Structure 1
Amino acid sequence: MELNTSNNNTKKMTVINGSHFSNMEGFYEEVSRLFMKDEDWKVGTLDGFDDILYGVETDITWKDSLKSKEDLGVDLTKEFYENKIRQGKPFNVELIQQKLDELINKNGQTLFEILIEIIESHKNITLILD
């Protein structure tokens, strides 16, 4: 939750603390607090998380990342997809069912892996799993 700037580097250091959350709602709260301090809206979707990282130049240290990997693992991801399938529109139920099937068959990504991929897709951000 701390935002530090070191003297020898112009890049900021942002710490996502895995001990602060155990589900996606908590993750969104954590990143909203870190990246959206002056905004009147909060992150609430994977796309929204991706969007707020555009233009951000920071090193992100994800503390307690092993806890997050477990918390945001297969079980929560399965529940995440099942909820979207239940909701139906506006979600692409066919695509989500495919992602769920891949997850069940151990070929799919967990929410943790999706979040890592989103962060790593932003070239101005260096991710350190701690």
Structure 2
Amino acid sequence: MIVIHGGHFSSLGGFYEEASSVLMKDVDWKVGTLDGFDDILYGGFGIFENKEEIEIIWKESQKSKEDLGFNATCEFYENKIRQGKPFNTELIQQKLDDLTEGKGQTLFEILVEIIESHRNIALKLE
């Protein structure tokens, strides 16, 4: 059982720090992107093996849902658009437009989707 504690962070960067500390103990590598977070969930390095069945409990997930909600997601996309290359700014602008129109995913929803895409991982939101 792995516990991600929403009380330990209030931003995406803080989430990456929390995920790194609980999933990558004793490994000299830290999560820093959504793709990187997805990669560590395959296992084989860090605290669990490839395809090992694990449970992640996300405590204070409601707080995280708010912290990583609409405002944080808009800021995330706006920062990528400002940076430009190597980001596909047209795609990111479409994601931002979808979000503002109520059709897009928040960072919290994206993170939950990433976790749930791994069949060997059971996610429990508390």
Where does residue 121 of structure 2 map in the other structure?
Answer: 125
Shift of 1:111: 0.1
Please give the alpha-carbon distance, in whole angstroms, between the structure 2 residues aligned to 1:18 and 1:38: 22
Q: 2:38 is paired with a residue of what secondary structure?
A: helix
Q: TM-score, normalised by structure 2?
A: 0.92
Runs of 4+ in 1 over 6 A off after TM superposition: none
**1:16 partner SS:** strand
Q: How does 1:84-123 map to 2 (within 5 A)?
A: 84-123=80-119
2:75 counterpart SS class: helix
Deviation of 1:57 after TM superposition, in Å, equals 2.8
Report how far residue 15 of structure 1 moved: 0.6
Equivalent position SS for 1:107: coil
- List alignment gaps of at least 5 residues for structure 1: 1-12
AA aligned opposite 1:127: L
Matched residue of 1:22: which SS?
Answer: coil
Unaligned runs of 5+ residues in structure 2 are 43-49
Percentage of pairs with the same residue:
72
Which whole-Å CA distance do the structure 1 matches of 2:109 and 2:61 have between them? 11
Q: How does 1:42-121 map to 2 (within 5 A)?
A: 42-54=30-42, 55=50, 56-121=52-117
Q: State the structure with more CA Rg.
A: 1
RMSD (CA atoms): 0.7
Separation in 2 of the partners of 1:104 and 1:120?
24
Deviates more, 1:64-73 or 1:50-59: 50-59
